Structure 1
Amino acid sequence: RANMRWQRNLVLVGFGLVFFYVTSMCRLFFRTREGQTSSGGDEPTGATSQPPESSSVEAFLDSTVEGQLPAAFQVALKNYPVVPLSDVKIVFVLTYYRAGAPLLNELLSSDDKTFFNFEPLGLFTANGRIRQGREHHAFGLIEELMACRIENVPLYTVWLEGTDFHQRNRFLSKLCEGGQACTSPSHMSAVCLRSSTRVFKFSRLYLSQVANWLKRNPGMAKSVRVIHFVRDPRAVYYSRRRLKWCTSSPECDKASSLCDQMRADIDGFNELVRQLPANRTQRLRFEDLVANPLNETVRLYSRLGLDYTGSVSQYLATRKSPKNAPNRWKRKLSEATLNIIEEVCYDVLETLGYELLAPEVQEGELE
C-alpha cells in the first residue's frame, strides 16, 4: 500500500508539473495580449498585486467543495479583513532534512494570523534540491503563494490533498476543520489574504537561489525575511541514518553531500547579508533554540520585526522542549564515524561554531 501511495503521488506530481507549465504559459500569453491591447499598460502585474477584498462570503464559494463550510471559516471570512500585500511580512526558512525544523515551524505558526506554507516545492522534487532547469517554475509557484493567488495553481492544491501539510498551517487548519476547504484553492486564498505574516519552509532551495531571485525582483526584498536554520551536521547525519528513504538517496545519505549543501548555503547567506538590510536576515541554530527558547525567540522576532503576540508567548510557555534530543547523537555515533564526518565537514563545523569531538583514529569504517 505504501508503494501504491508513493506511485500515486508521483503521478500527481507529474501531472502537476505539466499543468503548472501549461497554465503558466497561458497566463503569460494572455497577460502579453492584455498589455498590447490595453491603453493603460502601466499597471504592474505579478506577485505585488492581490485580488480585491470581497464584500461577502459567497464570493469565496467553490464548486469543488461539497456541503456546508465550517462555521469558524465563515466567521473568519466576515471578521478578518484582507491584509494588503505591502503590509504583509514574508518569512523564508531555509533548512535541511532532519535539522529540527518542526520546533521552529510550530513557533512561527503559533500566531493566529500566520499562513504557513510547509515544503511547497515538494511538487517539483521528492527529496533533492531544486535544479536550475526547474528554478523558474519553482519561484513562479512561490510568487503565486506569496500573493495568495492559489486559484492560479490548482494542481498544487491537488498535490496537497495527498499530504498532511495543511495541518502544519495552524491558521488554516483550525478554520477548515479537516474538511475539503483545507485544500480548496479559493478557500485557501481567502484565509491566506487575511494573514499578516506568511511563512515558507524550504529544504529544497539553496540560499544562493533566493539571493539571485531577490536580485531579479528587488521590489519583493522589502517584505522578505530570511532565516537560515541550521543544526550540527553530525546530528543531522545521525537522524537521517534512521530513515530508509534517506539512506537510499545518495544526496541525503552522505555526510559529504550534506556539508556541501551547508557550505554553499553559508556562502549564499553571506550574499544575502550583503544584499538585504540587517533586520532581514538571521541564522539560527537548533541547539540554541532548544537550550534557550524564550531568549532566542525574542531575539529572532525583534531582529526580523515579527509580531511577538500572546499566542507566541503561550506556545513557548506550554511546549515541552526536547532537551535531550540535540545530544543523543554524541552517544550513538562511533569515534570512527565522527572522525570521518568531521574531516569532510571541518570548515562547516567551524563556521557554525560547533566543537570537534572525535579523537584521531588510524582505522575505522563509516557506519
Structure 2
Amino acid sequence: MPRLRFLGFIIVAAAFFLLLLSLNERPISVYPKHPQVYTNVIQEEYVTDNYSYTSTIKDVIKQQRAYIEQETSDYPFPYNLKLNNFTLSTGGRPLRNIIITTWRSGSTFLGDIINAIPGNFYHYEPLLNYGIVQIRGPPYGDLAVKNLKNLLTCNYTDLNNYLDYGQSHVYLFTHNTRLWDMCELHPTYCWDPIFLSEFCKLFPFQSMKVVRLRLELAEKLLQDKSLNVRILLLVRDPRGTLQSRKHRNWCPGVPDCDQPNILCEDMVSDYEAAIRLKSEYPLRFRVIRYEDLSVDPYKHVQDLFHFFQLHFHPFVKAFLDSHTKLNSGGVSSTFRHSKSVPFHWRTDLNFSEVQYIEENCDQAMKLWGYVKAYNESHLREFNPLTLYSIE
C-alpha cells in the first residue's frame, strides 16, 4: 500500500509539472517583437489605481520619430543627405521600392530582406482585400493603382476597404514589423487613418510587395515622377510556383491561381512589358528570377540594394545569415535552405504534372530561360535554368 501511495504521488507530481510546462510555453513567432529597443524612447500606455495615462497620437508620433533617428543614426544615406531629406513629415521624399510578382514566387523572402534595414516602412501585399485575383485592367485596375499611390504617399484617409479588411486579417500589418510593434503597444490607434498617415510619414524608406497587379499596370507608378519609385519584377519557374500553390488552401479551384495557362499568359505579358520598361526606365526598373536570387543570395541582394539605393546594412546580412541555411517553420516561413527550395518541385511533382505545366507554359518558359524535363529520371536531376534576355 505505501508503495502504491508513493507511485500515486509520483504520477500526480509529474502531471502537475507537465501542466506547468504547457502553461509556460510560448509560440515562436516568425516575426519576433523586440519591445526592449523602444524603452529609451517609448512611453507605453498604463493604468494604476491612482493615475491613468494614455499616449495621444502626437505622443506616439514623437516617440517613434525619436526611435527612427536613433535607429538610423549611423546609416549612410545616399548623396550624403540626412534623414530629414527622406521623410514626408519634414518635406523630404522617401526612397520607394516595389516588388511586382505573383503568389508563391519568393516575394515574402525578398520583402523581409528589404524590411531588415533600419527605417523601413513595409506595405505588405496592399491589394489583399481584392481576393485571389490578378488585376490586369478594368474593372479594378485604376482603383488598385490609386490605392497603391495613396499608400506610397502615406494617405490612409481614402482606404476604408483596405483598413476594414485588415482588422479581420491582421497579417496585412504584421509583416510591417515597425508598425505592428506600435499596434501592440497602442492598439486603439492601429487602424486609425490619421495615425497611420502620420506614422508612415516618419520613415525614410518604403518598400512594397504586390502579387495581384500585373506589370503593365504597374508602369503607371513609374510614370508618376513625384513618387520616384523603383520597381523590381520577380519571376519564378511556373513549375515551382504551381507546386508551391498546391499547399495553400486558398488556391485550388481559383482559375487565376491554379491554372498554368493563365499564370504563363501573365508571364508572357510581363516579359513584353519588361522589355519596354527596361528601355524607358533603365535606372528604375529591373528583373530578377527567384532561382538566381536563391542560389547566391548574398551576391544578388547586394546588387539589388545598389539598384534600390539602399545600404547593405549589418541587419540585412544578419537576416540572410539566419534565413538561408536551414529549413524551419511552415510553408509560409522564410527560414529556408535557399539553394534547394526553388527546385523542390522536381521531387514533389510527378512527371505527368510537370508535362502538363510545360505544355501550357512553352512560350513563357522559353522567354524566361526555364528548361523542360525530358523524362522522369531527367526530372529528378537536371538543371532547369538557362540564360534569358529582356533586351
Same fold (TM over 0.5): yes
Among 343, 359, 364, the residue aligned to 1:343: 359
Match of residue 135 from structure 1: 141
Match of residue 54 from structure 1: none
CA shift at 1:199, angstroms? Answer: 1.4
Among 201, 212, 216, the residue aligned to 1:193: 201
Q: How many residues align?
A: 293
Distance 1:288 1:132, change over 3 A: same
- The reply on whether 1:294 has 2:302 as its aligned counterpart is no
Match of residue 177 from structure 1: 184
Q: How does 1:261-280 map to 2 (within 5 A)?
A: 261-276=266-281, 278-280=282-284
Among 55, 60, 65, the residue aligned to 1:77: 65
CA shift at 1:310, angstroms? Answer: 2.7
Deviations 1:236-276 (A, max 9, x none): 11111223321111221111111111111111122211221
Q: Retained in 2: the 8 A contact 1:112–1:170?
A: no
Q: Retained in 1: the 8 A contact 2:230–2:284?
A: yes
SS at match of 1:115: strand
Q: Aligned partners of 1:191, 1:95: CA distance in 2, in Å?
A: 27
When normalised by structure 1's length, the TM-score is: 0.72
Q: Retained in 2: the 8 A contact 1:208–1:271?
A: no
CA shift at 1:67, angstroms? Answer: 4.7
Distance 1:317 1:73, change over 3 A: farther
Distance 1:213 1:76, change over 3 A: closer
Q: Aligned partners of 2:291, 2:56: CA distance in 1, in Å?
A: 42
CA shift at 1:297, angstroms? Answer: 0.4
Judging by fraction of residues, say which structure has more helix. Answer: 1
Match of residue 320 from structure 2: 316
Q: Retained in 2: the 8 A contact 1:92–1:202?
A: yes
Task: Please list every run of 5 or more consecutive structure 1 residues that lacks an aligned counterpart in the other structure.
Answer: 1-56, 58-65, 361-367
Q: How does 1:140-289 map to 2 (within 5 A)?
A: 140-163=146-169, 164-177=171-184, 179-212=187-220, 214-215=222-223, 217=224, 219-220=225-226, 223-276=228-281, 278-289=282-293
What code does the residue aligned with 2:346 have?
K
Q: Aligned partners of 1:191, 1:132: CA distance in 2, in Å?
A: 32
Q: Aligned partners of 2:62, 2:210: CA distance in 1, in Å?
A: 31
Between stretches 254-263 and 242-251, larger displacement belongs to 242-251
CA shift at 1:78, angstroms? Answer: 4.4
Q: Retained in 2: the 8 A contact 1:94–1:205?
A: yes
SS at match of 1:347: helix
Deviations 1:80-116 (A, max 9, x none): 4761465311112111111121111110111121111
Q: Retained in 1: the 8 A contact 2:128–2:172?
A: no
Q: Aligned partners of 1:309, 1:87: CA distance in 2, in Å?
A: 21
Q: Aligned partners of 2:197, 2:136: CA distance in 1, in Å?
A: 25
Q: How does 1:344-363 map to 2 (within 5 A)?
A: 344-359=360-375
Q: Retained in 1: the 8 A contact 2:132–2:256?
A: no
RMSD of aligned residue pairs (Cα, Å): 2.7
SS at match of 1:152: coil
Which has the higher Rg, Structure 1 or Structure 2?
2
What code does the residue aligned with 1:77 have?
R
